[in-house]
Amino acid sequence: MTYSRIIGTGSYLPERVVTNLELEQRIETSDEWIYSRTGIQARHVAAEGELTSDLAVKAAQAAMAAAGVTADEVDLIVLATTTPDMVFPSTACIVQAKLGVSNGAAFDIQAVCTGFIYALAIADKLVACGQHKCAIVIGAEVFSSILDWTDRRTCVLFGDGAGAVVLKQSDQPGILSSHLHSDGALNHILRVPGKISGGQIQGHPFVEMDGQSVFRVAVKSLAECAVEALEHNQLQAADVDWYVPHQANIRIINTLSEKVGVPRERVVVTLTRQGNTSAASVPLALDAAVRDGRVQPGQLVMLQGVGGGMTWGTVLLRW
């Protein structure tokens, strides 16, 4: 039987760091208020003219270097983003050109903060079945471009960044299973309702969020999805070596740690200095844990995301 396995990870964060103390000078808020409610102290913000594809390319290059693969080996790019470079072509195709990849397919996935989980699940199936041999899966966002920086309810939460993994075929189990869900009836609790029509912006072009509703949905859906993944593989929470949840809010992460049954010392947290980077948050956190040596061969890793749609999902993998 053929499987797909992650053989390299990479990430990129823009140079500019915006701290809570800087935001104090711009809007009515405080470092203590932000940190106590979210666990966030700072976030990275893309430079003017720095595009999602630029971040994605740097993360992909880091993952390719870690995996020891070259552009001519890559035959699939799946990129998750909410902030594409343009309406079309896809940002994945732009990344394909910038990387010098000339084989296979490239396309975007839009599932907001769950985007990387969706993208990884799709790439896994395409590699495991033999249709593609080497895939780059990327989560990349310039979320600062869709924030109202006068709205203290949202602008303090998000940041920019990109994370990537390289997938290759393997005769040993890598990705064990993926579990994807959505509930479109909840589309109104987290959204950017603006659109372009006739060359003009129509509607509100910035993030809108019902924070309390998002919290409730995130905790309930991810806890249930974790159980679903473990039961599917006949495993228990005690078997999970590392839990890598979406990096949205430390209160959500801590609550999930308790509900899922994974101790906090085995939960990977990066949002303190990165904020919520949407589709980039899970691969950024995974790369951090791989590069600092926490994630070791043979260990069981659970990845989870939840985002607008509402969407949510789990990927369970053996490192």
Q: Catalytic residues, which ones?
A: 113, 246, 276
Are 233 and 227 within 8 A, CB to CB? no
CA distance 73 to 146: 35
Q: Give the position of tokens 């993208």.
A: 119
* DSSP H/E element including 238: none
Are 121 and 287 within 8 A, CB to CB? no
Q: Give the position of tokens 């999902």.
A: 313
**HEC readout, 5-25:** EEEEEEEECCCEEEEHHHHHC
Is-cis flag, bond preceding 89, omega within 30?
yes
Are 312 and 118 within 8 A, CB to CB? no
Ranges of H-type helices in 129-268: 211-232, 250-260
**HEC readout, 247-261:** CCCHHHHHHHHHHHC
Are 44 and 16 within 8 A, CB to CB? yes
- Please give the C-alpha separations between residue 150 and each of 24, 29, 52, 242, in angstroms, as whole numbers: 11, 11, 23, 37
CA distance 232 to 313: 14
